[in-house]
Amino acid sequence: MNEKANNQAPQIRLVEVGPRDGLQNESEPVSVDDKVTLINLLSEAGLRTIESGSFVAPRWVPQMANTDAVFRDIDRHDGVTYTALVPNLKGLEGAVASQVEEIAVFLAVSDAFSQKNINCTMAESITRVQPVVSAALEKGIKVRGYLSCVLGCPYAGEINPSTVASMSKQLIDMGCYEVSLGDTIGVGTSAAAYNLVKQVADVISVSQIAVHFHDTYGQALANIHAVLPLGVTVIDTAVAGLGGCPYAKGATGNVATEDVVYMLHGMQLNTGIDMQRLLDANRFISKRLGRPGSSRTANALLSAQEH
């Protein structure tokens, strides 16, 4: 079993989004200390990019209201980038005050979802994030761009891949170094995921594409497997499969970090992640949330280790 990372440089970079995308959706508050412990355990497991919170309006996403305290208290390891979501200039101010080195702006590829999530249309969202990206870059802060609903929208239904390609290009032209393609509601299948990434890779470099698949319909691993041959090397994942989206009812978590690591190591692709240490993070957060995580790999390994 390929549980352990080998010593080569990672061929695939995993962006751990559990502390943000995962915990933003919890109904009960999660304390600063618990978030900090989770993030520290994830960095000790070998994750090199950890999305640790968001500087958004607390009225919209109360779970992220303590992000400044989280950034204050985490042990910042060399070589690990701790990132945060930022919707506007006010959010950027918060990120700068918390010495965040990399931010993510987030847009959707349907007007309906955009209205629900950030209270503006797609066109307005581009106009809104432009000054945020410029101001961040001027301060030496790297910017990632997210696009939501790339394989289907809970309100608008099917999405034309050309819309996703065009918005991806706009984000890169604006100065984002990477675009994360979010299947927010997890409806995509492998053929659709492949076609989408192929079309987006016609307008930006495949090295600028990350995939962000929620596992609502159980398709996330298949979708990742389908896009790897196109040259995708950045994958967003969440420990224990945490998550959902407050503005996409019924959406379950991101694909579990443990499941992706298990698949990639089985394909002899190095991630730099130590599965045993990752299981420590899984155990910790599952205990704190009072329920087992949804990672099939973690549940199998933990149960085998208990017996």
The contact set with ligand HMG (CB under 6 A) reads 21, 24, 54-57, 59-61, 85, 87-88, 90-91, 94, 106, 117-119, 146, 148, 182, 184, 212, 214, 245-246
Contacts of 84 (CB under 8 A, 6+ apart): 20, 51, 52, 53, 54, 55, 67, 71, 95, 98, 100, 103, 104
Answer with the entry of Mg ion, ligand HMG, none that 102 interacts with (C-beta below 5 to 8 A by kind).
none
Answer with the entry of ligand HMG, Mg ion, none that 87 interacts with (C-beta below 5 to 8 A by kind).
ligand HMG
- In whole angstroms, the minimum distance from the beta carbon of 36 to ligand HMG comes to 20
Nearer to ligand HMG, 55 or 284 (CB): 55
Residue 55 · residue 82 · CB < 8 Å:
no
Contacts of 259 (CB under 8 A, 6+ apart): 221, 241, 295, 296, 297, 298
Q: Which stretch binds Mg ion (CB under 5 A): 20-28, 33-41, 193-201, 292-300?
A: 20-28
- In whole angstroms, the minimum distance from the beta carbon of 258 to ligand HMG comes to 19
- In whole angstroms, the minimum distance from the beta carbon of 192 to ligand HMG comes to 15
Nearer to ligand HMG, 30 or 279 (CB): 30
Question: What is the largest distance, in Å, between two alpha-carbon atoms of the chain?
Answer: 56
Burial class (CB in 10 A: 0-12, 13-18, 19+), 121: middle
Nearer to ligand HMG, 80 or 150 (CB): 150
Cβ count within 10 A of residue 178: 23
**CA–CA distance, 241 with 53 (Å, rounded to integer):** 17
Nearer to ligand HMG, 184 or 299 (CB): 184
Show the tokens assigned to 180: 């994360």
Nearer to Mg ion, 34 or 215 (CB): 215
- In whole angstroms, the minimum distance from the beta carbon of 40 to ligand HMG comes to 22
Query: Applying CB under 5 A, does 16 fall inside the site for Mg ion?
Result: no
**CA–CA distance, 214 with 179 (Å, rounded to integer):** 16
Residue showing the smallest CB distance to Mg ion in the complex: 21
Query: Applying CB under 5 A, does 21 fall inside the site for Mg ion?
Result: yes
- In whole angstroms, the minimum distance from the beta carbon of 297 to Mg ion comes to 20
Nearer to Mg ion, 253 or 275 (CB): 253
User: Cα angle at 40 between 65 and 265, to 5 degrees?
Assistant: 115
Answer with the entry of Mg ion, ligand HMG, none that 90 interacts with (C-beta below 5 to 8 A by kind).
ligand HMG
Answer with the entry of Mg ion, ligand HMG, none that 148 interacts with (C-beta below 5 to 8 A by kind).
ligand HMG
Active-site residue identified among 120, 153, 176, 245: 245
**Strand ranges inside 76-221, DSSP E:** 81-85, 102-108, 142-148, 178-183, 209-213
**CA–CA distance, 198 with 215 (Å, rounded to integer):** 21
Active site includes 120?
no
List, by residue number, the catalytic residues. Answer: 245
Interacting residues with Mg ion (CB under 5 A): 21
